[in-house]
Amino acid sequence: MGELFHLEDVTKVYKMGEVEVRALDGVSFAIQRGEFLAIMGPSGSGKSTVMHLLGCLDRPTSGRMVLDGLDLLKASDNQLAEIRNAKIGFVFQQFNLLPRESALRNVETPAIYAGMKRSERVRRARELLERVGLGDRLFHFPSQLSGGERQRVAIARALMNDPAIVLADEPTGNLDTKTGEEILTLFRNLHKEGRTVVLVTHDRRVAEYASRILHMQDGRILKEERVN
Partner 1 sequence: MLRTTINSLSAHKLRTALSVLGILIGVASVIAMISVGQGATYDIRSRVESLGADLVTVSPAFRVGRAGVASAQITETFTLELADELAKAPAVRDVVPVIQTNGTIKYRDRNLQTTLMGVTPAYPSVVNYPVARGRFFSAQDLENYAKVLVLGSEVAQQLFPDEDPLGKEVVLERAGTRFLFTIIGVMTSKGQLGFGQYDNRIYLPVTTVARRITGDRTVNFYNLRVASTDQVDEAIAQVEFILSRRISNPEDYRVRAQQDIIETVNQNAITMTFLLGGIAAIALLVGGIGIMNILLVSVVERTREIGIRKALGAKRRDILWQFLTESVFVSVLGGVMGLLMGVGAAALIASFSRWPLIVPSYAVFLALGFSLIVGLIFGVYPAARAARLDPVEALRYE
- Position among 3, 101, 203, 225 found at the interface with partner 1 (CB under 8 A): 101
Q: Which stretch binds partner 1 (CB under 8 A): 95-103, 171-179, 185-193, 195-203?
A: 95-103
Helices (H), 163-218: 177-192, 204-207
What region does 169 belong to: left with phi over 0, alpha with psi -120 to 50, or beta?
beta
The answer to whether the beta carbons of residues 148 and 169 sit under 8 Å apart is no
- Position among 55, 60, 171, 180 found at the interface with partner 1 (CB under 8 A): 55
Q: How far is the CB of 183 from partner 1 (least distance, A)?
A: 19
Give the up-direction half-sphere exposure of residue 87: CA atoms within 13 A in the CB hemisphere.
19
The SS3 assignment for 111 reads helix
Please count the residues of the chain: 228
**Alpha carbons 14 and 105: distance in angstroms, whole number:** 36
90 lies in the binding site for partner 1 (CB under 8 A): yes
137 lies in the binding site for partner 1 (CB under 8 A): no
Q: How far is the CB of 52 from partner 1 (least distance, A)?
A: 5
Binding site for partner 1 (CB under 8 A): 52, 55, 57-58, 77-78, 81-82, 84-86, 90, 92, 96-101, 105, 109-110, 112-114, 157, 161
